[in-house]
A and B are shown apart, each in its own frame.
Chain A
Amino acid sequence: MWADRYDDAVEAALAVARSRGLSIILRIQELRERRVVVVDGGVERQRTARVAGVGVHALTPDGAIGFASVDDAAPEAVRTAVMQAGEMAEAARSLDTARTQALAELESAGRVRVEGPTSGAAEPGADALARRLVEAQAALDGVDLGPGCTVRTTLLAVDEAWRIVRSDGTDVAFETPRASLRHDLSGQLDGTVARAGANVSGIDPAALLTDEAVGRLTRRARRAADDARLAAHAPAARSGSYRIVIRHTLAKGLAHEAIGHLCESDIDGSVLLRGGKIRLGERLARETVSVVDGPLPGEYVQQPWSANGIERRTVALVKDGVLMAGLGDLFSADLAGMPITGACRASSFRDRPTPRMTNIRIEVADASPLGADPDDLAPEDVMAALDRAGLLDRRQPTIYLSGYRGGTAHPRRGDFIFGTDAAFDLGDGGAPRAPASFTGLAERALAAIVAGIGPLCTDAIGTCTKDGSGVSSSGGSHALLVLDPDPDLVVSAAR
């Protein structure tokens, strides 16, 4: 197995740690990333990057902590890194720094080798990949985003593997591959720049280049382009509270930014903590609503073990509307009043790991049928689905938000903002509105969820940049999620 290549480095690290009376967590990472960008039928960029390195957390017997990392996994370099981490821990020890005994209280997980979740199919060469991307673009023929429409197609393929070793004998190795294929379209419609995007994702780039996956991407991109074209010259929605209908992509943003981060054990001032402890047992949503975090087989974010060598648990943060769990890591779970769930992740061996989500999704127990293809949902399909579910009230202002543009939330304030490419006023026959922002308070948003419509769609992806460290994230909800009006949930747009 790949991890065995580093046996000498591991032995060297453990020997230095023993000789200096240190406890260590050693993180060895191998990463290979390929990004191919095709613009309008030509290769704009094909870049590969590879890195292998080691990060060390070193703890003195009284719990002072130092850290070191090096992009060289040779035994001599690793030995030096452990010594440097030890010196840093000693420097910290000489001052009134924070201490922890959490590592000393942990049981060894022993030796664990997790089989990689890859399909085993060989990745095509760069030229073959580029040709396939050009073909994928050709499938968008006829998409109308005005004259000069540009299509940018990006394939990202990442092979990533970790070996986590602790002084207590834990030695865990696992792989976290991922891949995504994305179209970004932009064009000029009577002087207004319209843009639309869509993607498919998984663990295996070859699987994203099959006819089936490319067909799915094409349907999603055509729909996004149609929505963006309609919104290009539409008036701005009046700023205010509405019944809001969101797609699974925005729901992933809501679940991740506005719920998941608030449940992370290191966020000591989160609004979902009181007196530093998570508010377990409090009702946050209707009893049909649950929020679950954990990797799903074959999906974009895989992390079976944590960056501290603890098995990751899938947890229902909110179960049947009640806050039932947090995302706890070794160093802060106890302080936050939650069990360790193996939630900590790191983007790189250079990072200090913190509790992070993997695939987070909002599930509604009594979701209604959609009656349409989730990858090709026109505003009129959304209206019909709402009508069938008894949720379309023509007297009730209802806004459907399409095309997720990212977002952010502040755990200590509990507020969030998300951007969208288009909006449709379903109370006005689905009339298009300009790109809009959705802002509000996380707890109000959770409480406002009244319905899910359609199948669970959990393949929305993103990059979480907590503390400046970018890790992959994914998730979703049912194809549509419906939120009731609330004064603290507002749709607005620049006029």
Chain B
Amino acid sequence: MTLADALIEWLERRPAVDDADIVGWRFSMAEGDGVRAGIRASRLGGPYEGPGVTRRLVGTLELHWSDGLVTLRGLDRRAVVQPAQELVELRNDAVAPRRGRLPPLAGPTALPEVETFDPAVARAVTGDAGTGLHTLERLLERSRSGGIRRVDAVMRASRTARTVATSRGFRADWHDTACSIELWGDEIAGASYGRRCLPTASDLDRLAEEIATLAPCLSKAQDLPSDPRGVLFMPNVVHGLLERLVLPNLSGRAIRDGRSLFSRADLEERRQIIRADLDLVVDTTLPFELASAPCSSEGVPAGRVALIAAGRLASPMVDPATAADWGLAPTPIPNGKPPAMLTSALPTIDYDEALTVLERGVVVRDLPGLHTQPARRAAYALVAPDAQAVAGGTGRGRCAVRLAGGLLDHLRQPSTRPVHVPGDPSVGLLVLTGVELLPA
């Protein structure tokens, strides 16, 4: 019997404290192993980056009591193995739910097939202790042979068995894996990988090549070209901008509580907020992406939903409780990258063409401090210390810039172009209008 089976068996006995018994429940449980190792200052391992393994059980347990109270508890191993010993404390943690309504519980439903498990990652986690170290050793060699003097990296991999179940008969069990690598060259050029499958040899080559190409450029300081035309935001920065400045405004709870730029009326009117060729889509079914899973921790099936379609508000991101309040279906919510994907009905341009169109400006690969910007204005005023100057349509040296603008405004401008970057399923954005750019 698995730990999940044992917990269900206990919950189905309707345990009681005093006059109240458990009449409904939901839990999500994740039990697994992870490995981590790193490189610091071109040395593998050491006190901060030595190889390590971890074993963990985490999750959430929600209990509905017969007197209408609700308990929400983070699951730990002790609570799962000996739930009866936790019963009194679980009851003490119960409170009346907002507006007196019990959160809805998912019932039986069909779930889509989603590829989340790579046996090669699982073997790397539970097999030879040196697998991660050997991968890093290869990455170190390739980076050095590309001319990098100092290499820093962290690699993580995990395998997890997951269960989501409710008292209404919903149950999903699946396994997933994850692998991520962050690589830095000469403390200035970064590249990263994060998926549910192991990186291929060509993925590793791409990471090493990326930093080997970029580091020599960024090690030379360059002035911001005069009369700059705009900015090329690389895909991970576009993710960051969307995550900080757009997605919080599309959260159903934020809209309900007046913490969003948008109102319920805006949604109902399907207000046009960006250009008509653009969609913003959440997709939790993409093979081996970190965002993907057969269902959410509340049992919402995986799927693809357009939050913005043809530039108009199409759907908020709603959890089951907010969905019940509004009489809507709950939406899938990603738990990792990509948080949402921007797509265009118009053809994208590739990276080199984007540099040519930009002619004079900067490429931004990292935008520190994005979390300090007011999401509810969808605007930013930041410094990109490691931006790359573009002059004559070619990437040049490092050029620290101050930049300010509004993301929704960028997405309304006819001159803004989605940019395809090799090896990245998400797009970058070439912004030529509405971004203020100054030397920093």
Contacts and interface: CB of A to CB of B under 8 A. Distances in A.
**Is this pair of chains taken from one and the same complex?**
yes
A95 B51 CA distance: 11
A238 B74 CA distance: 47
B133 A97 contact: yes
Contact of A239 (B53, B74, B368, B438): B438
A81 B436 CA distance: 54
Given A69-B55, A127-B96, A350-B56, A95 B257 contact: no
Interface in A75-106: 81, 84-85, 87-92, 94-100, 102
Contacts of B364: none
Interface range, B side: 35 or more
Given A71-B57, A186-B376, A408-B372, A97 B258 contact: no
Nearest to B97: A43
Contacts of A493: 381, 404
Interface in B48-65: 48-57, 60
B421 interface: no
B380 interface: yes
A74 to B, nearest CB: 10
B402 A439 contact: yes
A31 to B, nearest CB: 9
B168 interface: no
Residue of B45, B96, B187, B383 most packed against chain A (CB within 10 A): B45
A67 B404 contact: no
B188 to A, nearest CB: 9
Interface string A47-91: 111111100010000001111111110000000010011011111
B372 A88 contact: no
A202 interface: no
B43 A97 contact: yes
Contacts of B273: none
Contacts of B43: 96-98
B115 interface: no
A100 B385 contact: no
B304 interface: no
Contacts of A94: 130
Interface in B66-97: 69-74, 76-79, 89, 92-97
Interface string B392-417: 00000000101011100000000000
Contact of A97 (B44, B60, B368, B404): B44
- Chain B interface mostly helix, strand, loop or mixed? mixed
Given A49-B74, A66-B51, A97-B46, A43 B95 contact: yes
Contacts of B99: 42
A132 interface: no
A87 B129 CA distance: 7
B52 A352 contact: yes
Interface string A28-42: 000001101001101
Given A149-B258, A493-B404, A494-B380, A97 B95 contact: no
A44 B70 CA distance: 11
A152 B69 CA distance: 21
B55 A39 contact: no
Residue of B93, B260, B376, B381 most packed against chain A (CB within 10 A): B381
A100 B368 contact: no
B47 A92 contact: no
A126 B53 contact: no
Given A48-B93, A408-B368, A417-B368, A66 B50 contact: yes
Nearest to A69: B54
Given A150-B257, A494-B406, A127 B95 contact: yes
Interface in A115-132: 125-127, 130
Interface of B: 36, 40-41, 43-57, 60, 69-74, 76-79, 89, 92-99, 128-130, 133, 137, 187, 257-261, 368-369, 371-374, 376-377, 379-383, 385, 400, 402, 404-406, 436, 438, 440
Given A43-B96, A66-B50, A492-B402, 14 more contacts: A36-B95, A43-B95, A44-B98, A46-B70, A46-B93, A57-B47, A67-B52, A72-B77, A81-B55, A195-B376, A239-B381, A410-B385, A467-B48, A493-B381
18 contacts: A43-B95, A48-B93, A50-B78, A68-B54, A70-B56, A91-B133, A94-B130, A98-B46, A99-B46, A186-B259, A266-B48, A331-B48, A352-B47, A408-B368, A417-B369, A419-B369, A435-B377, A494-B405
